[in-house]
Amino acid sequence: MIKVKKRKILLLPGDGIGPEVINEVKKVIKWLNTKRSLDFQIDEDLVGGVSYDKYGTPITDEVFYKALESEVVMLGAVGGPKWDNIEFSKKPERALLKLRKELKLFANLRPAICFKQLVDASTLKPEIVSGLDIMIVRELTGGIYFGEPRGIKPIDNGERKGINTHTYTSSEIIRVAKVAFELAKKRKNKVTSCEKSNVMEAGQLWKEEVQALHDEEYKEVELNHMLADNCSMQLLRNPKQFDVIVTDNLFGDMLSDQASMLTGSLGLLPSASLGAKNKDGKMRAMYEPIHGSAPDIAGKGLANPIATILSFAMALRYSLDLDKDAGDLEKAVEDVLNDGLRTKDIAEKGKKEVSTKEMGDAIISKLK
Ligand code: NAD
Contact present, 308 and 290 (Cβ < 8 Å) = no
Domains located in the chain, CATH noted: 1-106+275-368 (3.40.718.10), 116-137+144-247+255-264 (3.40.718.10)
Q: Given ligand 1 and candidates 46, 91, 266, 343, which is best to mutate, with the most ligand atoms within 8 Å of its CB? A: 266
Told to judge if 196 belongs to the known catalytic residues of this protein, a careful annotator would answer: yes
Residue 41, strand partner residues: 8
166-225 pLDDT tens trace: 999 999 999 999 999 999 999 999 999 999 999 999 999 999 999 999 999 999 999 999
**Active-site residue, from 43, 45, 133, 257:** 257
CA of 18 to the centre of ligand 1 (A): 10
User: In Å, how far from its chain's centre is CA 66?
Assistant: 20
Told to judge if 257 belongs to the known catalytic residues of this protein, a careful annotator would answer: yes
Residue 55 buriedness (CB in 10 A; 0-12 / 13-18 / 19+): middle
243-254 pLDDT tens trace: 999 999 999 999
To 10 degrees, the CA torsion angle through 179, 181, 185, 189? 140
Told to judge if 61 belongs to the known catalytic residues of this protein, a careful annotator would answer: no
Q: Where on the phi/psi map is residue 337: left (φ > 0), alpha (ψ -120 to 50), or beta? A: alpha
Contact present, 236 and 227 (Cβ < 8 Å) = no
Per-residue pLDDT of the chain in tens (368 residues, 90 and over written 9): 555 557 899 999 999 999 999 999 999 999 999 998 888 999 999 999 999 999 999 999 999 999 999 999 999 999 999 999 999 889 999 999 899 889 999 999 999 998 888 888 788 899 999 989 999 999 999 999 889 999 999 999 999 999 999 999 999 999 999 999 999 999 999 999 999 999 999 999 999 999 999 999 999 999 999 999 999 999 999 999 999 999 999 999 999 988 888 887 788 989 999 998 888 778 899 999 999 999 999 999 999 999 999 999 999 999 998 999 999 999 999 999 999 999 998 888 777 899 999 999 999 999 98
CB atoms within 10 A of CB 111: 23
CB burial of 233-262 (b: ≥16 within 10 Å; e: otherwise) equals: ebbeeebeebbbbbbbbbbbbebbebbbbb
User: In Å, how far from its chain's centre is CA 250?
Assistant: 15
CA of 345 to the centre of ligand 1 (A): 12
Indicate the pairing of strand 270-277 with strand 283-289.
antiparallel
Contact present, 210 and 246 (Cβ < 8 Å) = yes
Residue whose CA is at the smallest distance from ligand 1 atom 10? 294
| pTM exceeding the 0.85 threshold for the entire prediction | yes
Give 285-341 as a DSSP string: EEEEESS---TTTTTTT----HHHHHHHHHHHHHTS--HHHHHHHHHHHHHHHHTT-
Q: Which residues line ligand 1 (CB under 6 A)?
A: 17, 77-80, 93, 96, 266-267, 288, 291-297, 303-304, 307, 345
